[in-house]
């Protein structure tokens, strides 16, 4: 094994997501102790057993449905597993309905905002006082979809824009304590969320995305686009004047 063993205590929420599995493997390869949380406890147990076997790290599965949770009780459950040493909170839960299904559908709108935005803020606020200082880290998987509102995906995009704004303020708020905040903006990734969607291009492998996220945590970066070329793509898209952007059917 090339990397130095870290022994970070890392909590990953949405652990059954393809990107989170990539993050868990990359963290375990570096020696992190893991809590893997999701609403499918059996699958979380399987992922925990897999990283334990492959990398010889301690890993624990915890059930968590972010639409029906007690964040303080979850923090306690994680602290017990990691013996109080929580270094990193990684949030990868996400929900994306078809824009056409979500339009005019209050239940789908509420679910999108709860899973992608409200639960992120609730979990960050619950964990921040318990993260190891200095050196703690909050990492949230947001999306390039939050950078601009497109007619084809703006209900989902609005939740990710909210995440970006929240984390943009959280970073400076925690700087003095030495706690880092990383906003991750993936482009298209080959996962269950995007399976079968039309118009996908430059689709990335979830393990490659997971590796890039863990590298960015090690380097204590603030914002990353992944794969890296999305930074350039989104620079161009963000620089399109509103008057022109409104006429594009994106
Ligand atoms: N795939 C892409 O192209 C792409 C691009 C940009 C950003 N992202 C973001 O990347 C993150 C990971 O998504 P993914 O692409 O890896 O898709 P995914 O495999 O569909 O993962 C979504 C994850 O969210 C979990 N989740 C949904 N509702 C939940 C709830 N109520 N409580 C707890 N967990 C819940 C799912 O759990 P279950 O397994 O139980 O359903 C699953 O683990 C998401 O935040 C997504 O928005 C993805």
**Tens digit of each residue's pLDDT (9 = 90 or more) over 166-186:** 999 999 999 999 999 999 999
pLDDT at 249: 75
Contact by Cβ (8 Å): 12, 199: no
pLDDT at 139: 98
pLDDT at 4: 53
Cα-to-centroid distance, 243 and ligand 1 (Å): 33
Cα-to-centroid distance, 244 and ligand 1 (Å): 32
- pLDDT at position 1 over 70: no
- pLDDT at position 246 over 80: yes
Average pLDDT over residues 40-52: 98
Contact by Cβ (8 Å): 126, 71: yes
CA distance 114 to 94: 9
- pLDDT at position 3 over 70: no
CA distance 40 to 226: 27
pLDDT at 196: 84
Nearest CA to ligand 1 atom 1: 189
- pLDDT at position 198 over 90: no
Cα-to-centroid distance, 93 and ligand 1 (Å): 4
* Ligand 1 neighbourhood includes 94 CB (under 6 angstroms): yes
- pLDDT at position 7 over 90: no
CA torsion sign, 180 to 128 to 82 to 25? Answer: negative
Contact by Cβ (8 Å): 138, 182: yes
* Ligand 1 neighbourhood includes 193 CB (under 6 angstroms): yes
* Ligand 1 neighbourhood includes 37 CB (under 6 angstroms): no
Query: Which of 2-6, 72-76, 186-190 has the lowest average pLDDT?
Result: 2-6
* Ligand 1 neighbourhood includes 143 CB (under 6 angstroms): yes
* Ligand 1 neighbourhood includes 153 CB (under 6 angstroms): no
Average pLDDT over residues 218-238: 97
**Of ligand 1's atoms, which has the minimum distance to the CA of residue 16?**
43
* Ligand 1 neighbourhood includes 19 CB (under 6 angstroms): yes
pLDDT at 5: 60
**Of ligand 1's atoms, which has the minimum distance to the CA of residue 68?**
31
Average pLDDT over residues 211-219: 98
Q: Domains plus CATH for the chain?
A: 9-245 (3.40.50.720)
**Strand segments (E) across the chain:** 9-13, 33-38, 59-63, 88-91, 137-141, 180-186, 223-226
Average pLDDT, the chain: 95
pLDDT at 201: 86
Average pLDDT over residues 40-67: 98
Ligand 1 pocket: which of 12, 13, 19, 114 to mutate (most atoms <8 Å of CB)? 19
pTM above 0.85, yes or no: yes
């Amino acid at each position: 094994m090339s990397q130095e063993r870290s022994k970070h205590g890392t909590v990953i929420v949405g652990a059954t997501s393809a990107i989170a599995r990539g993050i868990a493997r990359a963290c375990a390869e570096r020696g992190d102790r893991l809590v893997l949380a999701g609403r499918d406890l059996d699958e979380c147990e399987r992922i925990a057993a897999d990283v334990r076997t492959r990398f010889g790290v301690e890993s624990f599965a915890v059930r968590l449905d972010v639409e029906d949770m007690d964040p303080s009780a979850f923090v306690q459950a994680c602290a017990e597993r990691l013996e109080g040493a929580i270094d990193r909170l990684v949030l990868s839960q996400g929900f994306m309905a078809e824009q056409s299904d979500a339009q005019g559908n209050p239940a789908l709108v509420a679910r999108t905002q709860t899973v992608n935005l409200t639960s992120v803020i609730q979990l960050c606020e619950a964990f921040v006082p318990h993260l190891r200082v200095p050196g703690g880290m909050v990492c949230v998987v947001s999306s390039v979809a939050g950078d601009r509102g497109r007619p084809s995906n703006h209900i989902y995009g609005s939740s990710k824009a909210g995440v970006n704004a929240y984390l943009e303020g959280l970073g400076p708020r925690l700087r003095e304590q030495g706690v880092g905040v990383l906003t991750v903006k993936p482009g298209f990734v080959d996962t269950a969320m995007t399976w079968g969607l039309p118009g996908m291009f430059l689709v990335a492998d979830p393990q490659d995305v997971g590796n890039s996220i863990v590298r960015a945590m090690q380097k204590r970066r603030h914002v990353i686009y992944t794969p890296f070329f999305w930074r350039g793509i989104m620079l161009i898209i963000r620089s399109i004047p509103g008057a022109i952007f409104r006429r594009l059917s994106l």
